[in-house]
Amino acid sequence: MNCLFGEAKYVDVLEKSLYNGALDGLSLSGDRFFYGNPLSSDGRAERSQWFGTACCPSNIARLVASVGNYIYARSENSLWINLFVDSQTQVTFKGTSVPVRMMTEYPWDGKVKIAVDPAKKVAYALRIRIPGWAENTAVPGGLYRFTNTSQSIVRIKLNGKPVKFNRDRGYAVIDRTWEKGDAVELELPMDIRTLRARPEVKADQDRVAFQRGPIVYCVEGVDNQGVVWNLLVPEQVKPVNIPYRIQDEPVQALQLDLMEVSGDEQGAGVKLQPRPVVAIPYYTWANRGRSPMQVWLPDKIRKIRLEE
């Protein structure tokens, strides 16, 4: 659809699927698989080594191997940057070869450098996708929305200086004559955002989730002394991103100051006490043994299932 209509929103959906839903299906070790993508677990869920009907393991392997096909695209007069992945490629415009190198630590860092090195001066348009999440659109279509509006802006520089660009269907367009050594720097705001679903999604009513960049987070028991279910998100929560490690995977986790709820299920004698909580990227859960997990956390007491 992106190649057909040239609209960034289709890659927005692809990106969210790749970093969350698709990666969750594959263990960090690469040899265990989920068929579904549960957004909560009572601690019994774990990836399987194989399935009787094993279409998903082969499909996720094929998808991971084909990601390079989705990073760049080329039309007659444009180079399209769709995914931000440390990579290199080569395209040709008007008979001139243009090597392209992208350097980034995305999705943990919002800085992306795109260096071009044409054999000689050549004119074409560089089209860089501006993710919807970077401009306060959680997902195309409005199924989810951010509850906290970011005031940060997307910044683009050419050879170290701010550059004017046009906008077209979700892309920043720099149309010029390029020469050897030109480099574009993109800086995306990496604010931590709070997500809420449309009210029609009954399971997510009175619940919120957290996102930083394209990464959606979850709370897993192994990081929080087994406490997952009796947590309440306060109104003025201020998450902080922290370096973290899941097995051998370096990630950015979130430190959340939540409330722990105790009492009976009828609400009699309910007590609230502060509790620091670590949230990890959703795709990394269930890699350290069985453990309870939630993506959508309640911000109303009546949605909490108290643990014994």
pLDDT value at position 308?
Answer: 44
Characterize the bridge pairing of strands 122-129 and 78-81: parallel
pLDDT tens by residue, 48-66: 988 888 887 888 888 989 9
CA distance to 9, 40, 134, 212, per residue, from 209 (Å): 21, 12, 17, 11
pLDDT tens by residue, 117-141: 999 999 999 999 999 999 999 999 9
Percent of the chain with pLDDT over 90: 83
Alpha-carbon radius of gyration of the chain: 22
Encoded amino acid at 27, one letter = S
| Mean pLDDT, residues 216-244 taken together | 95
pLDDT at 307 over 60: no
**Side-chain half-sphere of 288: how many Cα atoms within 13 Å?**
17
For 228, list phi and psi in degrees, rounded to 5: -135, -40
CA gap 113, 229 in Å, rounded: 41
User: How large is the greatest C-alpha to C-alpha distance in the chain, in angstroms?
Assistant: 76
CA gap 286, 3 in Å, rounded: 35
User: Who wins on pLDDT, 19 or 269?
Assistant: 19
pLDDT value at position 187?
Answer: 98
Domain segments of the chain as ranges: 2-88+121-176, 192-303
Q: What does the buried/exposed string (b/e) look like for 67-82 if buried means 16 or more CB atoms within 10 Å of the residue's CB?
A: eeebbbbeeeebbbbb
pLDDT tens by residue, 246-284: 999 999 999 999 999 987 666 567 788 999 999 999 999
Residue 272's DSSP bridge partners are 261
pLDDT tens by residue, 140-173: 999 999 998 888 899 999 999 999 999 999 999 9
Contact indicator for 61, 67 with CB cutoff of 8 Å = no
Encoded amino acid at 171, one letter = Y
Among 21, 18, 13, CA closest to 295:
21
Please give the mean pLDDT across all residues of the chain: 93
